[in-house]
Structure 1
Amino acid sequence: MKRYKTYLVNSRFISARVLELSVARSNSRSFPDFLPGQYATLSFPLHQKLRGERSFSIASSPTDSSVWRFGIKIFGRYTSALQDLRPGEPVMVGGPFGKFSFDQFKDQSAVFLAGGIGITPFVSMIRWATNKKLSNDLTLFYSVRSLADAPYREDFYALEMLSPHLKVIYVTSDLAGNDPSARIISGRINADLIARFLLKKLEDKSYFICGPLPFMKAMEKIIGGFGVPKQFIKTEKFGIGSKAFIETGSPMPKIAFAAWGLAAAVVFGVVVRMEQARRSNAATQNLVNSPSIEATNNNAPGSAVPSMNNVNQAAPITNTSQPSVSNNNSQNQSSGTITQPSQPFQSPRAAPFVPRTRMS
Structure 2
Amino acid sequence: MTTQTVHLKSKNEVAHGTKAFHFDKPAGFEFRPGQALDLILSNAGADPNSSDVRHAFSIVSAPHEDELVITTRMRASKFKNALDSLPPGAALELDGPFGSLTLHKKVERAGVLIAGGIGVTPFMSMLRHAAHQQSAQPLLLLYSNRRPEDCAFLDELRQLERQNPHFRLLATMTAMDKSSQPWSGATGLLDAAFIQKAIKGLPAPVFYISGPPALVQAMRETLEQAGVDEDDVRSEEFYGY
If the length of structure 1 is used for normalisation, what is the TM-score?
0.60
Structure 1 residue runs of 5 or longer lacking an equivalent are 244-360
Q: Distance in 1 between matches of 2:163 and 2:39?
A: 32
**Number of the residue aligned with 1:62:** 63
Distance 1:225 1:199 in 2: 15
Distance 1:80 1:113, change over 3 A: same
More displaced 10-residue stretch of structure 1: 45-54 or 120-129:
45-54
> What whole-Å deviation, never above 9, does each CA across 1:105-162 have from its counterpart, x for those lacking one?
2672011110111110011111111111101111111111100011111211211111
Which residue in the other structure is 1:108 paired with?
109
Greater percentage in strand: 2
**Residue correspondences, number:** 232
What secondary structure does 1:88 align onto?
Answer: coil
Residue number in structure 2 paired with 1:297: none
Deviations 1:10-55 (A, max 9, x none): 11111111111111014x23xx211111110001216999952111
Cα contact 1:175–1:187 (8 A) shared by 2: no
Among the aligned pairs, what percent are the same residue?
A: 24
Match of 2:134 in 1: 133
C-alpha distance 164-76 of structure 1, shift in aligned 2 (>3 A): same
Map residues 66-77 of structure 1 onto 2, 5 A cutoff.
66-77=66-77
Q: Does 1:156 align with 2:153?
A: no
Q: How does 1:1-360 map to 2 (within 5 A)?
A: 1-26=1-26, 28-29=27-28, 32-45=29-42, 51-64=52-65, 66-77=66-77, 78-105=79-106, 108-175=109-176, 177-179=182-184, 184-200=185-201, 204-239=204-239, 243=241
Query: Which residue type is aligned with residue 34 of structure 1?
Result: F
The Cα shift of 1:178 comes to 4.5
Q: Please give the secondary structure, in 1, of the residue aligned with 2:103.
A: coil
CA shift digits 1:35-79 (9 cap, x unpaired): 111110001216999952111110010111x11100111112221
Give yes or no for contact 2:147–2:173 (8 Å, CA) kept in 1: yes
Coordinate RMSD, CA, aligned: 2.2
Question: Which protein shows a greater Rg?
Answer: 1
In structure 2, what residue type is equivalent to 1:9? K
Q: Which runs of 5+ in 2 are unaligned?
A: none
What TM-score, normalized to structure 2? 0.88
Letter in 2 for 1:89: A
How far residue 225 of structure 1 moved from its aligned partner, in angstroms, is: 2.6
Q: Which amino acid aligns with 2:149?
A: A
Distance apart, 1:102 and its partner CA: 1.1
Amino acid of the structure 1 residue aligned with 2:171: Y
Q: Is the 8 A contact 2:210 2:238 kept in 1?
A: no
Counterpart CA distance in 2 for 1:122 and 1:201 is 18
Look up the equivalent residue of 1:71 and give its one-letter code.
T
| Distance apart, 1:230 and its partner CA | 2.3
In the alignment, is the contact (CA less than 8 A) between 2:3 and 2:95 conserved in 1? yes
Cα 1:47/1:81, change in 2 over 3 Å: farther
* Greater relative contact order (Cα < 8 A, sep 6+): 2
